[in-house]
Chain A
Amino acid sequence: MIKGNFIDNLPKVYGIYTGGFLAFIIIMSIGEQMGMTSKAIGICFVAFTVAIYAIIGYLSRTAQADAYYVAGRQVPTVFNGMATAADWMSGASFVAMAGGIYFKGYGYMALLVGWTGGYVLVASLLAPYLRKFGCYTVPDFIGTRYGGNLSRFMAVVVLTVASFTYVTAQINATGTIASVALDIPFQYAVYVGLISILLCSMLGGMRGVTWTQVAQYIVLIIAYLLPVFWISNKMGAGFFPHFMLADEVSRIAELEAQFGFVKNSAENLKEVPKGLAGITKAHSAVNATPWAFISLALAMMMGTASLPHVMMRYFTTPSVKAARKSVGWSLFFIFLLYSSAPMLATLSKLSLIDPSLPTGIIGKSITEVQAIDWYQNWNQANLMFVSDFNGNGTLELNEFFMGGKAVVLATPEIAGLPYVISGLVAAGGMAAAMSTADGLILAIANAISHDVYYKIIDPKAETAKRLVVARVLLVVIGFAGATIAALEIQGILGSVIWAFDFAMSGLFFPLVLGVWWKRANKEGAIAGMFLGLVSGAAYLVWVRTGGSGFLGITQLTFGIFGSAVSLVSMVVVSLMTSAPNAATQRMVDEVRVPSGRSIIGKQ
């Protein structure tokens, strides 16, 4: 069936894979009709997809440094776009984003704008130039452009701080999904998740991660879009929800005006289980100040352009030209999911609060709501709660509480879709969290093995030895992440946003100025990375410990302060010290020309 080179056959291979996955969904739904239990369906979905990823990971095994670090630099643009989209969209995007929009409306949607707008910066300021450079890792660029082990080491430190903050949240998410789908305790499920993650990346490095991420993208996008379209059609809201939900959006505004946002007393709120929230913000009205919105969006955009696990995906394209196009494809594939999240939030909210819909619960009697099957299930899972605060016996808008995850996880069931969809959603969430965790763990392990071990400690190491070190680090970092995740000390979304702020504090200006400002030198870059990271972290600690902050910079946008310090210190220190030498200046000139050999020669 498949002849010749694997790369030439990619569309065929993934076409067959997609067909196989759709067939699997159909077999499962037939199984459901024939009486398969919901638990068995959940286990099948997660086990089947993880097994496929593991097989891809095994088939991609390699002993070559080029394949291990940059997938042999032969990933075609469209497929690299899919892999980047999976790399990018984490468990938080998949499970928590629609919930955030549902509860916080406009103020939260700054994240949508920020997490997409950042790609314009990636495409125009960085990706093509770093691809021309021919580096294996992001610190590789910093170390070669500015020179010296200290600058390289600082870049590894920033990368590790940002990526590690991010990865614990992702391992946490795989653990949550594995524990629900396989019905095992969270403390063990975290390690099941970790082993699945390592199966994809251990043997094949970047090559293995690339081809599993493409497979994971296909699963997660089907798992997200199918329920959105199905629910929209079932509710009669329109067959293409993205273009047809205007009436639903204005109906929600009408209901909000009718019910009003009643504020609950602190005493009443004590009853509500931790982590659940009520609807307190308007759905489509502007409910945040311009600066609150813009500062969050800006922080996320600059963070996007500094996160190494995304940047290194563009090192795998065959050419500079392909790197540019590939950024466009990445954003297109991300857009498919991000533009659907607000639609899911709209459908979910309307189906719950509209009394004229059969699924609506607001205005029904409390006892009636408490008797609904799905309410009981999700109440037991600690994701839904109602209470009769005013004692009138009917459920009011302010008396209904839900967890953020429930918007994605529970809406299919509320809308009356078959259980097979819930199994599919679990597989999608698992794919999203696994693919991001893989990219992050690989980014950290590669930076330490390539930049610290090979470039600084033992420059004469053989390829075989380097790859052993890389794999050992992968396992060590994975286990460290899983151990911290098992402690459950931070929430998923908060730590994701912090990772962006850390990355932009330390890396944004050293990377951008490395290409765009020839005068930038080693001393400046070291000052920029060090002072940026330290001042950003200090600001975060200050605000967390009761500091008032300034200029409206919050703990979610501390990167704006960190990167400003980074910029100023980098420019001042660069100008106070001598200009980079002629060889470095020539190197920068060469980076700006797309054709010709890469700066770091072939190994």
Chain B
Amino acid sequence: MSKQEQHWEKSKGLLMMTLAIWFVFSIGIFLFGAEMNEVTGPFGYPLTYWFTCQGSLGIFVILIFWFANRQEKIDEEFGFSERGDD
């Protein structure tokens, strides 16, 4: 496998992982919205309510930064990273 193919395989792996986490917090948990709302979540809010106000939103922010860092590592590993600032 060429360097480029290996890089793409790894990038695809990262994409799948990112989309899996995204799926859980944007769709998965809301399948059980009514049941989860019985539980008390962070700061004392009902759990599902908290996810819609802050939880899922905040997780998405962290997820994107995590994804960007991981992808940068993959790019560096194969020597595809760009020079320059961010």
Q: Is the CB of A116 within 8 A of B86?
A: no
Near B by CB (< 8 A), chain A positions 98-143 give: 106, 109-110, 112-114, 116-117, 119-121, 123-125, 128
Q: Is the CB of B81 within 8 A of A325?
A: no
CB distance from B17 to the nearest CB of A (A): 10
Q: Is the CB of A328 within 8 A of B68?
A: yes
Given contacts A124-B67, A335-B61, A594-B81, contact A117 B86 (CB under 8 A): no
CB distance from B14 to the nearest CB of A (A): 8
A254 at the interface (CB under 8 A from B): no
Q: Is the CB of B80 within 8 A of A297?
A: no
Cβ 8 A contact of A321, one of B8, B49, B72: B72
A593 at the interface (CB under 8 A from B): yes
Q: Is the CB of B33 within 8 A of A106?
A: yes
Q: Is the CB of B26 within 8 A of A297?
A: yes
A324 at the interface (CB under 8 A from B): yes
Contact with B along A305-337 (1 / 0, CB 8 A): 000000000000011111011011001100100
Contact partners of A331 in chain B: CB under 8 A: 60-61, 64
CB distance from A269 to the nearest CB of B (A): 29
Q: Is the CB of B34 within 8 A of A286?
A: yes
Q: Is the CB of A117 within 8 A of B84?
A: no
Q: Is the CB of A592 within 8 A of B11?
A: yes
Given contacts A246-B43, A286-B33, A321-B72, contact A106 B60 (CB under 8 A): no
Given contacts A284-B49, A328-B68, contact A113 B58 (CB under 8 A): no
Please measure, in the bound complex, the distance between the C-alpha atom of A494 and the C-alpha atom of B44, giving whole angstroms.
Answer: 33
Please measure, in the bound complex, the distance between the C-alpha atom of A126 and the C-alpha atom of B59, giving whole angstroms.
Answer: 20
Q: Is the CB of B22 within 8 A of A297?
A: no
Contact partners of A114 in chain B: CB under 8 A: 26
Given contacts A112-B52, A297-B27, A594-B82, contact A117 B46 (CB under 8 A): no
Contact partners of A342 in chain B: CB under 8 A: 52-53
Question: Across the two chains, which residue of chain A brings its CB closest to B22?
Answer: A120
Residue among A109, A124, A245 with max Cβ neighbours from chain B (10 Å) = A124
B85 at the interface (CB under 8 A from A): yes
Please measure, in the bound complex, the distance between the C-alpha atom of A109 and the C-alpha atom of B11, giving whole angstroms.
Answer: 32
Q: Is the CB of B18 within 8 A of A124?
A: yes
Contact partners of B54 in chain A: CB under 8 A: 242, 339
Q: Is the CB of A327 within 8 A of B15?
A: no
Q: Is the CB of A294 within 8 A of B56?
A: no
Cβ 8 A contact of A249, one of B7, B31, B49: B49
A16 at the interface (CB under 8 A from B): no
Q: Is the CB of A595 within 8 A of B52?
A: no
Question: Across the two chains, which residue of chain A brings its CB closest to B19?
Answer: A124
Q: Is the CB of B46 within 8 A of A339?
A: no
Contact partners of A286 in chain B: CB under 8 A: 33-34, 37, 48
CB distance from A247 to the nearest CB of B (A): 7
Interface size on B, residues (CB 8 A): 47
Given contacts A120-B63, A124-B18, A297-B30, contact A339 B86 (CB under 8 A): no
Q: Is the CB of B64 within 8 A of A318?
A: no
Q: Is the CB of B4 within 8 A of A121?
A: no
Please measure, in the bound complex, the distance between the C-alpha atom of A119 and the C-alpha atom of B64, giving whole angstroms.
Answer: 8
CB distance from B46 to the nearest CB of A (A): 5
Please measure, in the bound complex, the distance between the C-alpha atom of A600 and the C-alpha atom of B80, giving whole angstroms.
Answer: 19
Question: Across the two chains, which residue of chain A brings its CB closest to B44?
Answer: A246
CB distance from A399 to the nearest CB of B (A): 27
Given contacts A246-B45, A284-B46, A319-B82, contact A113 B26 (CB under 8 A): yes
Please measure, in the bound complex, the distance between the C-alpha atom of A247 and the C-alpha atom of B44, giving whole angstroms.
Answer: 8
A244 at the interface (CB under 8 A from B): yes
Question: Across the two chains, which residue of chain A brings its CB closest to B53?
Answer: A342
Given contacts A320-B82, A592-B11, contact A293 B30 (CB under 8 A): yes
CB distance from B25 to the nearest CB of A (A): 8
Contact with A along B63-86 (1 / 0, CB 8 A): 111011001100100011110111
A77 at the interface (CB under 8 A from B): yes
Q: Is the CB of A339 within 8 A of B34?
A: no
CB distance from B52 to the nearest CB of A (A): 4
Q: Is the CB of A117 within 8 A of B53?
A: no
Contact partners of B80 in chain A: CB under 8 A: 593-595
Q: Is the CB of B22 within 8 A of A335?
A: no
CB distance from B9 to the nearest CB of A (A): 11
Q: Which positions in B face A, CB cutoff 8 Å?
A: 4, 7-8, 11, 15, 18-19, 22, 25-27, 30-34, 37, 43-46, 48-49, 51-54, 56-58, 60-61, 63-65, 67-68, 71-72, 75, 79-82, 84-86
User: Top 4 nearest A-B pairs by Cβ distance?
Assistant: A246-B44, A117-B26, A109-B52, A324-B68
- Beyond A285-B46, A327-B64, 13 additional pairs, beta carbon < 8 A: A106-B48, A109-B52, A112-B57, A113-B26, A246-B45, A286-B34, A319-B84, A324-B67, A324-B71, A324-B72, A328-B65, A331-B64, A339-B57
18 inter-chain pairs at a CB distance below 8 angstroms, sorted by A residue, are A112-B52, A112-B53, A112-B57, A113-B56, A116-B61, A249-B46, A284-B45, A286-B37, A318-B85, A319-B84, A322-B85, A322-B86, A342-B53, A343-B53, A592-B11, A594-B75, A594-B81, A595-B82
